[in-house]
Structure 1
């Protein structure tokens, strides 16, 4: 009896709010870890935004954003990517409720919208290069292609990731690691939308205004 009392006295008290049921679920840990990755990605995009801000007027005597950017095409790109964020949310809801048909429908529409966005962006790049506004033409264009191209590269990676996730759901179904990867993909895709809204505002709208 005395030994039991001594053990209870020597045992360290649990910190306030600590759980006695063990570590956090894997889904929570995976989401937290992926948020850390997204923060590192945001730091990288912040550096690209800062570079563009410094070099926005370094046109080397060539055309600036007000002469190069076409608002109609960029507005359509923005609408496509924002719509893909909505369908990605529907896809995640379908995955949580284990509705496979609705999941595939949301995944297909999300993929199609993202691919259309990427195709329009590539067409914009090719059009700029055909007009003599290549990345090496000026520091302004180098910064522009680096910032917008980096976002486009992330979209391309997201499309490949989405296709792989569709195959994994078909082979393994929902649950376990597949659910965690779908959560991470959803966070990734929504983060790309937020970055694009910043690109659209800071590069295209303010660039044309300037």
Structure 2
């Protein structure tokens, strides 16, 4: 189950693209297009966005990075998705490149923070988190939460019904014994003790 969040988890940070290339196209970069980029804030208008992004992925090889406008989820993981349009802007504009670099530098701390289990206000565990950075550098977030196990819920419900049934039976049994005990006491109390005097106790 996916839940879109614009503020809460978005503040944790970002998104980007897979080491192997775009999420929709596993783009191969030719040797002729390869250019060494020392930093994402370095602008080189001759470099392709695929190569530019590849350099980002090499810097953070342990992160789940995607060049995409969508939320790419990974089970029990955190993903970062960067808009291809933002990458193109970063190639052409040094200001956009610096802003992108600032967001990318937050990846390690964001990953570390989500190493600890997180829960929704309803107490459901968050399984996956996906950050998305749009072409203007705006960050949004989507999460997937742990699904409720209907089978376990049914089992718990059956056990609860059985427990209630047994309690009811025990209560009825105790009530019956209590009534029988009261009847016995009433009979004993109403016996004419003088009746016993009729018997000769001398043997």
Length-normalised TM-score, structure 1: 0.26
Quick check: which has more Rg, 1 or 2?
2
Higher relative helix content: 1
Length-normalised TM-score, structure 2: 0.27
Q: Which fold has the larger relative contact order, with Cα–Cα distance below 8 Å and residues 6 or more apart in sequence?
A: 1
Higher relative strand content: 2
